[in-house]
Chain A
Amino acid sequence: GAVVSQHPSWVICKSGTSVKIECRSLDFQATTMFWYRQFPKQSLMLMATSNEGSKATYEQGVEKDKFLINHASLTLSTLTVTSAHPEDSSFYICSARDRDRGTNTEAFFGQGTRLTVV
């Protein structure tokens, strides 16, 4: 089946530093990838839609200068949390849709990244 690999699975960083999270589709190509944030015992909140070769589309209320998204290839999207603060601590999850399966199909999810800012 389609596999999405997310790295790192957990990271601890100091307040004010930046953290990069990678999302790779291992056995398919993804024109579009999605980044979510999940708070404890809550649902997934869509942060942005990442499109290969173009700027990401951010959801309302998400700071694009703080959460930098780059989708440089059909298999890799990155999320960089800049100048991280404790309130950015969360579980971040990426997902990708196989471009060869059409747009009305399931998305495949990475294993998530637990970010803790101290």
Chain B
Amino acid sequence: GDSVTQMEGPVTLSEEAFLTINCTYTATGYPSLFWYVQYPGEGLQLLLKATKADDKGSNKGFEATYRKETTSFHLEKGSVQVSDSAVYFCALNQAGTALIFGKGTTLSVSS
């Protein structure tokens, strides 16, 4: 079945460092891909998305490109802030089904 694999954390960075969180997927067909962020004690917020190959999703300085050839959707940010500390989930969606999530990556940014 479809699945999402993302790098295990925690990822610990200093403020203004470059961030990469790897995400790869296995799916039949052409899923949509998402990154969600979860702050402590809260639900998930959509961070960015891409619906087809070569699409780049971006939001709040975060970017991810849908790479069909490598089945990847890595999350990047050029300069992280303390406020970016959270858990990040990569997810995929096939039409009409529930989102399939990776296990989540905890990011901790220190000043």
Contacts and interface: CB of A to CB of B under 8 A. Distances in A.
Interface of A: 4, 6, 32, 34, 41-44, 46, 49, 93, 95, 102-112, 114
A117 B37 CA distance: 27
> Which of A93, A103, A104: most chain B CB closer than 10 A?
A104
B51 A104 contact: yes
B101 interface: yes
Nearest to B6: A43
Given A103-B95, A105-B93, A43 B43 contact: no
A46 B47 CA distance: 20
A104 B98 contact: no
A43 B103 contact: yes
Contact of A95 (B42, B51, B99): B99
Given A106-B34, A112-B41, A112-B43, A44 B101 contact: yes
Interface of B: 31-32, 34, 36, 41-46, 49, 51, 89, 93-96, 98-99, 101-104, 106
A17 to B, nearest CB: 23
Given A108-B46, A112-B42, A43 B102 contact: yes
A94 to B, nearest CB: 8
Nearest to A2: B46
A42 B102 CA distance: 10
Contact of B32 (A42, A46, A105, A114): A105
Contacts of A32: 96
Nearest to A93: B43
The 10 closest A-B pairs by CB, nearest first: A103-B96, A109-B43, A109-B44, A103-B95, A111-B43, A112-B43, A43-B103, A104-B95, A34-B98, A46-B98
